[in-house]
């Protein structure tokens, strides 16, 4: 496609997007296409296209299967400025064709691999980065850090930004900026704050839930959160499947005009066998928050964080420690909760007892509970296991499974507790699983306030989705006036 025709198509689809917004009467919605550039790049026009095309699909005549398939894709972003035509023309006519590439640093990454994902071939920049302590996150490949580069056609980086997000909310996030000036580079760092936009998508599940969601343009990391958002409902028998309609809202994070990364799944609604199933993200005091119903009850399997009464943490989760009895350095990946002998120990979540055993040289009296395919908990050094508890028994969250003791290798009475995910031990005090069944009143009020606009948007998506089978624009207009789907 030539540049002018891309421009024309882009402008046309923006127009159609606007038309549709007007027709569906979505007055509160500035249904618009974001202009994700300041310093101009043709590649960004391409980036805009899927969004505008998706919106415009509804105002076209879906005459065949392909049209139907396209109509299932919806991404709408609100509160965004309309890109000016002058800017659009600048994009296309700019001499400096820069494309923006973003990647996240992976475990065991190398600078060369990161450069290759950023489409950079720039030995001078590699050398520069290796010499800069400020750019350490890149040269030492710190996992999870986002990196963005503006790259010329001959694959030289015009600029490169490392986004150092602080895990602690109180500390500011820092962006390290490297800029090319001819054959030289400069480096500096500055604080940054993400601007968070909401993106929406709607479609119909196929047999492969995740793939069908990703096919509507939703990033994988968002699609992967769906089974978590509906975890408890799925555990209680909900079977999502082909034909179910889904609508979801998730976060997209920008710095200036540049999209950097996807954020949380905020809300999902699924129409399943005539029922509407919903789940909303809420801040529940855990690091990553959790998914809840509007009544404040959890949609996840909630693990009691400290499953013993009267406890204090005496030994925290760490990869290696010297054993207090044997003096041998060995992995210790559970958490030790010191507590008076005889205090009750609780099942951290619903599950099935998978082991009841005695290990004289280690865990003493201990039990294991399997909670689902992936998660198991272990409770050790008990004086005794609760009466008659045996392998295969179903336990409920909070059921007494044993009593604090010091059997096996233990210096004093404590609960040695392990939470294993896919056979790997995770720190029960730091995991992102919610630990409660219901939000506090304050958290619940916050959820309701946050969910109000989201439910409106889900309803809008529902309307758009139900427009899909109709064939004529007049029908679209009628449908939105009546506010009810025609069948
Ligand atoms: Zn221990």
Domain borders along the chain are 98-192, 199-302+439-467, 312-426
Centre of ligand 1 from the C-alpha of residue 171, in Å = 33
Phi, psi for 271 (deg, rounded to 5): -95, 115
Centre of ligand 1 from the C-alpha of residue 287, in Å = 24
Q: What 3-state class would DSSP assign to 236?
A: coil
Q: Quick one: fold of 312-426?
A: Glucose Permease (Domain IIA) (2.70.70)
Centre of ligand 1 from the C-alpha of residue 432, in Å = 21
Centre of ligand 1 from the C-alpha of residue 142, in Å = 30
How far is the C-alpha of 453 from the C-alpha of 168, rounded, in Å? 28
Identify the pLDDT of residue 18: 32
Centre of ligand 1 from the C-alpha of residue 416, in Å = 4
How far is the C-alpha of 439 from the C-alpha of 58, rounded, in Å? 39
Identify the pLDDT of residue 429: 75
Identify the pLDDT of residue 90: 46
Centre of ligand 1 from the C-alpha of residue 426, in Å = 13
Centre of ligand 1 from the C-alpha of residue 472, in Å = 68
Identify the pLDDT of residue 317: 64
Domain 199-302+439-467 has CATH 3.10.450.350: yes
The burial of 437, by beta-carbon neighbours within 10 Å (0-12 exposed, 13-18 middle, 19 or more buried), is given as middle
Centre of ligand 1 from the C-alpha of residue 418, in Å = 8
pLDDT, block means (10 residues), the chain with 487 residues: 40 34 31 32 33 34 41 46 50 66 93 96 94 90 93 94 84 93 94 94 93 94 93 89 93 93 95 93 88 95 91 69 65 84 96 96 95 93 95 96 95 92 81 84 96 90 66 34 34
Examine domains 199-302+439-467 and 312-426 and report if their fold is the same: no
Identify the pLDDT of residue 334: 83
Centre of ligand 1 from the C-alpha of residue 283, in Å = 31
Write out the two tokens for 133.
């302590």
Identify the pLDDT of residue 478: 32
Centre of ligand 1 from the C-alpha of residue 383, in Å = 15
**CATH level 2 (architecture), domain 98-192:** Roll (3.10)
Identify the pLDDT of residue 155: 94
Centre of ligand 1 from the C-alpha of residue 351, in Å = 22
Centre of ligand 1 from the C-alpha of residue 336, in Å = 5
Centre of ligand 1 from the C-alpha of residue 268, in Å = 39
Identify the pLDDT of residue 267: 97
Identify the pLDDT of residue 326: 67
Centre of ligand 1 from the C-alpha of residue 335, in Å = 6
How far is the C-alpha of 34 from the C-alpha of 50, rounded, in Å? 11
Centre of ligand 1 from the C-alpha of residue 334, in Å = 6
Centre of ligand 1 from the C-alpha of residue 315, in Å = 7
Pairing state of beta strands 424-426 and 375-382?
Answer: unpaired
Centre of ligand 1 from the C-alpha of residue 337, in Å = 8
Identify the pLDDT of residue 84: 52
Centre of ligand 1 from the C-alpha of residue 320, in Å = 11
Centre of ligand 1 from the C-alpha of residue 165, in Å = 33
Centre of ligand 1 from the C-alpha of residue 332, in Å = 6
């Amino acid at each position: 496609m030539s540049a002018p025709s891309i421009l024309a198509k882009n402008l046309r689809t923006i127009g159609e997007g606007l038309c549709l917004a007007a027709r569906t009467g979505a007055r509160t919605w500035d249904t618009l296409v974001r202009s994700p550039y300041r310093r101009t790049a043709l590649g960004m026009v391409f980036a805009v296209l899927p969004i505008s095309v998706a919106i415009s699909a509804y105002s076209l005549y879906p005459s065949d299967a392909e049209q139907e398939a396209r109509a299932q894709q919806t991404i709408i972003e609100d509160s965004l400025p309309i890109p000016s035509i002058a800017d659009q023309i600048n994009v296309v006519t700019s001499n400096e064709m820069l494309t923006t590439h973003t990647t996240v640093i992976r475990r065991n990454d190398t600078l060369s691999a990161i450069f290759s994902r950023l489409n950079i071939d720039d030995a001078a920049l590699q050398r520069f980065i290796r010499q800069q302590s400020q750019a350490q996150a890149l040269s030492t490949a710190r996992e999870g850090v986002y990196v963005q580069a503006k790259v010329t056609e001959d694959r030289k980086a015009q600029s490169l930004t490392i986004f150092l997000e602080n895990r602690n909310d109180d500390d500011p996030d820092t962006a390290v900026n490297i800029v090319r000036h001819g054959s030289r580079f400069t480096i500096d760092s500055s604080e940054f704050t993400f601007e968070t936009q909401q993106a929406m998508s709607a479609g119909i599940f196929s047999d492969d839930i995740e793939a069908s969601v990703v096919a509507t343009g939703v990033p994988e990391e968002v699609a992967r959160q769906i089974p978590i958002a509906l975890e408890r409902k799925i555990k209680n028998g909900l079977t999502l499947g082909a034909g179910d309609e889904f609508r979801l809202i998730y976060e997209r994070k920008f710095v200036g005009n540049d999209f950097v990364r996807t954020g949380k799944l905020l809300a999902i609604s699924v129409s399943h066998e005539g029922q509407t199933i919903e789940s909303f993200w809420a801040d529940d005091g855990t690091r990553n928050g959790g998914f809840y119903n509007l009544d404040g009850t959890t949609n996840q399997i909630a693990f009691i964080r400290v499953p013993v009464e009267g406890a204090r943490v005496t030994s925290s989760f760490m990869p290696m420690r010297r054993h207090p009895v044997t003096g041998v350095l060995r992995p210790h990946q559970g958490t030790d909760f010191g507590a008076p002998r005889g205090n009750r120990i609780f099942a951290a979540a619903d599950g099935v007892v998978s082991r009841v055993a005695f290990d004289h040289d280690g865990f003493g009296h201990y039990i294991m509970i399997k909670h689902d395919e992936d998660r198991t908990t272990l409770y050790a050094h008990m004086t005794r296991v609760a009466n008659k508890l045996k392998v295969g028994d179903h336990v409920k969250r909070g059921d007494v499974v044993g009593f604090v003791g010091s059997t096996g290798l233990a210096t004093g009475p404590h609960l040695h507790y392990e939470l294993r995910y896919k056979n790997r031990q995770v720190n029960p005090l730091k995991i992102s699983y919610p630990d409660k069944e219901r939000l506090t009143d304050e958290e619940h009020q916050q959820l309701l306030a946050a969910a109000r606009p989201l439910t409106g948007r889900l309803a809008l998506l529902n309307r758009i989705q139900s427009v899909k089978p109709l064939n004529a624009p007049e029908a679209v207009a009628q449908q939105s006036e009546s506010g009810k789907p025609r069948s």
